[in-house]
Chains A and B, each alone.
Chain A
Amino acid sequence: MGQLIISVGREFGSGGRVIAETLAERFGIPVYDRHLITEIATKTGMSEEEVEKYNETPKSRLVSRRVRGYSNSIEDNIAEMQFDFIRKKAESGESFVVVGRCSEVKLKDFSSLVSLFITGDMDKKTERVMNIYELDRESAEDLIAEKDRKRKKYHNSHTDSEWGDVRLYDLTINSSKLGIDKTVDFLEGYIRARMDNNSQK
């Protein structure tokens, strides 16, 4: 198998992370999500909790400044370390699945990249979040709105493109229509077709 990089962008509650993990299992490749936090924590000597605090979090523009590529924002520095990490992994020829981290933009020059964006119906996402986090409907909806707002801000501040814009991804799919398992089946077929296509070139 040649190199395969699967980038999974996702709306909160859409099951994007589970889809990414299942795809990783099916292709027998690692998934970089939580692992990225551990990696940065090990590399820098920071605690995982500290890295987690700034992970995929947008900086506040009013208290941040950038000078010749340097930024005082801890969020920016953690983000850049993660971008470097996935870029180096991609350059090494390794196959992997990466969740979020603007990976569909940061790795767009790699021909082995398959970029996906997982969306979902609001009622299905809400139910999922209510079950996982044991929240009432209103709190679940608020959490979804808050998380998606942060992901959008994070993505848009680190790239020149809009989070969730269909033109950024090879495939955007609503996981509520087929359910998580069938969505994974469908995506696996698409990715295998892409791999066949790449190997014929």
Chain B
Amino acid sequence: MLTASVFAVVIFIVMFFMIVLDKIERHIVTLGCGLLTLVVVFGICMHSFSAIWNTLAIKNFVTRDFWYQVTESESKGINWATIIFIAGMMVMVEGMAKAGFFRWLCMKIAFIVKCRPIPVFITFMIMSAVLSMFIDSITVIMFLSAVTVELAQLLDFNPVPVILSEIFCANLGGSATMCGDPPNIIVGTSLGLSFFDFLNNTGLCAGISLVFSVIFFYFAFRKEIVKDGAKQVDISTLPAPSESISNKRDFIISCVIFGCAVVLLVTHSMTHLTVASIGLFIAFLTVVTAGKSALELLKKVDYKTLLFFIGLFVVVGGLEETGILEYIADFIKDISGGNAMLMIAIILWISALASAFVDNIPFSATMVPVIQSLAGTTGVSINTLAWALSIGTDIGGSATPIGASANVVGTSVAAKNGYPISWGKYCAKLAPATVMVLAISTVYIFVRYI
């Protein structure tokens, strides 16, 4: 078992190192390392076919719980529910983007506030947070930052502070729900938590934090956004929101499907439909209603990310099966001396620190079995540890330009349009905001759960 553990750790470290180096595409890295885990760790070292079988988790597809879950259950190995859900949402988002939904929404809100820079700044922050509760933050920021740059050029304001605030709020909004950010989907599906569980716990925390964040960014950026007085622009000369809609029929259908997705997610603890079922159903609806464009939508799905997840879960499965994650859990238990507050603080802040520099998806996938083990041995509620892990990984990612996918997309869109954002410029305001929200979250968890 010792040899297997050593190999599992080495494979995991190599995988992390190669993801950071970004020399080879990350899905190839995780799939290669996943294959090595199956062959070397489970096959050669452990001679355990059951470990391979458990990690591949193919049998989950034929269990009723995978599609319709009455009682909470935890999953091990490849988290197929996460993968199917993300795939389904990707198909839906492609349909919405093709119909012009996101650009329309951005322009509509800008027009509602009469395209005045400061109100645009505040409403876009809130919109970023709300949209990210249901849609992946990459897509939200991709559209929001592009429209922000366009409006900035038309209205003569500085888009950088607006984009930075949108990025931060997208990550914050993502922490509010089970489907907002991949770590939450992993945590939720692994621990059998519902959309409403997240909304009621991390959601409330995100709501409180959003109020503080909007105030923080308003005072931090208000002088940077508009210099020497705002330019007066006749909004009737600007492109109307309706011009963003490429096809009215597709637009209405995509709005209805999005509405269905939100309703299904909000009610899934009552309907007992799992996120896998919801993802599959939403994808099915989108494809069926897309007609001739169905193939085009399916081709646009980011399969590399889905493959990345599959490989990642196998590698983490290697750590889990060899007991490495239990050692980590014991280590956290020892240094916290069994003190629940210290344990939660460690999970939240270490998760945040790690997520500020490395991909939060592998981190959270690794930490889920750790908190399961911790909860089992210390008696601290698994849900409380789950909220600490989710908040830490989701919020911590905001601190640096590489901490989360939305940050990369937002800074890239800004740079491509002539507004380069350096590490210094990014961290000057977003790192303090991250620390502020983490502090609020720590107090929130202590007051509410301890």
Taking beta carbons and an 8 Å cutoff, which residues of A are in contact with B? 43-46, 50, 54, 61-68, 70-72, 74, 77-78, 80-81
In the bound complex, do residue B402 and residue A64 qualify as a contact, i.e. CB atoms below 8 Å apart? yes
Which of B180-188, B323-331, B385-393, B406-414 participates in binding chain A?
B406-414
| B420 touching A70, Cβ below 8 Å | no
When chains A and B are docked, how far (Å) is the Cα of A70 from the Cα of B401?
Answer: 12
Supply 24 A–B pairs (Cβ within 8 Å), ascending by A: A43-B418, A44-B416, A44-B417, A61-B22, A61-B23, A63-B423, A64-B402, A65-B402, A66-B22, A67-B405, A68-B302, A70-B142, A70-B409, A70-B413, A71-B412, A72-B408, A72-B412, A74-B415, A74-B420, A74-B421, A74-B422, A77-B412, A77-B415, A80-B416
Given A44-B417, A70-B413, A72-B401, the answer on whether A65 and B408 have CB atoms closer than 8 Å is yes
- Determine whether the beta carbon of B22 is less than 8 Å from that of A50: no
Report which of A54, A71, A74, A80 forms a contact with B408, defined as CB distance below 8 A. Answer: A71
Q: Does B62 contact A (CB under 8 A)?
A: no
Closest to A60 in B: B423
Q: Which residues of A contact B409 (CB under 8 A)?
A: 67-68, 70
**Residue on A nearest B418 in the bound complex, by CB:** A44
Question: In the complex, how many angstroms separate the beta carbon of A67 from the nearest chain B beta carbon?
Answer: 4
Cα-based distance from A23 to B140 in the complex (angstroms): 48
- Contact status B20-A77, CB under 8 Å: no
Q: Does B138 contact A (CB under 8 A)?
A: yes
Summarize B's interface: helix, strand, loop or mixed. Answer: helix
A45 to B153 alpha-carbon distance, docked (Å) = 11
Within 8 Å of chain A (Cβ to Cβ): is B21?
A: yes
| Complex CA–CA separation, A68 to B306 (angstroms) | 12
* A contact patch SS: helix
Chain A residues with CB below 8 A from B23, complex form: 61
Question: Shortest distance in angstroms between A31's beta carbon and chain B's nearest beta carbon?
Answer: 24
Partner among B302, B402, B413, B415 whose Cβ is within 8 Å of the Cβ of A63: B402
CA distance A77 to B23 in the complex (A): 17
How far does the Cβ of B442 sit from chain A's closest Cβ, in whole Å?
A: 27
Once A61-B20, A77-B412 are accepted as A-B contacts, the answer to whether A72 and B420 lie under 8 Å apart by CB is no
A70 touches B423 (CB 8 A): no
- Which residues of chain A have C-beta atoms less than 8 A from B408's C-beta? 65-67, 70-72
Cα distance A77–B302 when bound, in Å? 21
User: B401 near A77 (CB under 8 angstroms)?
Assistant: no
CA distance A78 to B418 in the complex (A): 9
* Contact bitstring B14-26, A, C-beta under 8 A = 1, else 0: 0000001111000
Q: How far is the CA of A70 from the CA of B410 in the complex (A)?
A: 9
* Smallest beta-carbon distance B171→chain A, Å: 13
Q: Is the CB of A50 within 8 A of B416?
A: no
6 closest A-B pairs by CB: A44-B418, A70-B412, A77-B415, A65-B402, A74-B420, A72-B401
Q: Which residue of A lies closest to B21 (CB)?
A: A61
User: Which chain A residues border B422 with CB–CB below 8 Å?
Assistant: 74
Q: Which residues on A sit within 8 Å (CB–CB) of B305?
A: 68
Contact pattern, B 299-312, Cβ under 8 Å of A = 1, otherwise 0 = 00010010000000
The interface residues of chain B lying within 8 Å CB-to-CB of A80 are 416
Chain B residue contacts of A71, Cβ below 8 A: 408, 412
| 0 or 1 for each of B128-156: is its CB under 8 Å from A? (1 = yes) | 00000000001000100000000000000
Contact between B418 and A45, CB atoms less than 8 A apart: yes
Contacts A62-B20, A72-B407, A72-B408: A67 and B418 contacting too (C-beta < 8 A)? Answer: no
Q: Fill in one digit per residue for B67-96: 1 if any A CB lies within 8 Å of its CB, else 0.
A: 000000000000000000000000000000
Given contacts A44-B417, A63-B423, A70-B409, 12 further A-B contacts (CB under 8 A): A43-B418, A44-B416, A46-B420, A63-B401, A65-B22, A67-B408, A70-B412, A72-B401, A72-B402, A72-B412, A72-B421, A81-B416
Whole-angstrom distance between the Cβ of B169 and the nearest chain A Cβ: 18
Q: With the chains together, A81 CA to B417 CA distance in Å?
A: 10
In the complex the two chains form, what is the Cα distance from A63 to B413 in whole Å?
17
A64 contact from B22, B138, B417, Cβ within 8 A: B22
CA distance A68 to B411 in the complex (A): 13
Are B402 and A46 closer than 8 Å at their CB atoms?
Answer: no
Q: Report chain B residues within 8 Å CB of A46.
A: 418, 420
CB distance from B303 to the nearest CB of A (A): 11
Check A77–B420 contact: CB distance below 8 A.
Answer: yes
Nearest CB on A from B138, distance (A):
6
Q: Enumerate chain B residues within 8 angstroms of A54, measured Cβ to Cβ.
A: 420
B175 to chain A, nearest CB (A): 18
B21 / chain A contacts, CB cutoff of 8 Å? 61
For A84, give the chain B residue with the smallest CB separation: B416
Residues of A within 8 A of B401 (CB): 63, 65, 72
Q: In this complex, what residue of A is CB-closest to B426?
A: A72
Residues of B within 8 A of A78 (CB): 415
Contact of A72 with B418 at beta-carbon distance under 8 Å, contacts A64-B22, A65-B22, A66-B22 already known: no
| Min distance, Cβ B307 to any Cβ of chain A, angstroms | 14
Chain B residues contacting A70 (CB-CB under 8 Å) are: 142, 408-409, 412-413
Given the complex of chains A and B, what is the CA–CA distance between A115 and B23 in angstroms? 26
Q: How far is the CA of A146 from the CA of B191 in the complex (A)?
A: 52
Which A residue's beta carbon lies closest to that of B305? A68
Closest B residue to A42 by beta carbon equals B418
A11 to B405 alpha-carbon distance, docked (Å): 36
Give Cα A66–Cα B413 distance, bound, in whole angstroms: 12
Give chain A residues whose Cβ lies under 8 Å from the Cβ of B419: 44
Question: Is B415 in contact with A67, judged by CB distance below 8 angstroms?
Answer: no
Q: Cα distance A167–B138 when bound, in Å?
A: 39
Contact with A along B103-140 (1 / 0, CB 8 A): 00000000000000000000000000000000000100
Bound CA span A62–B138, Å: 21
CB distance from A50 to the nearest CB of B (A): 7
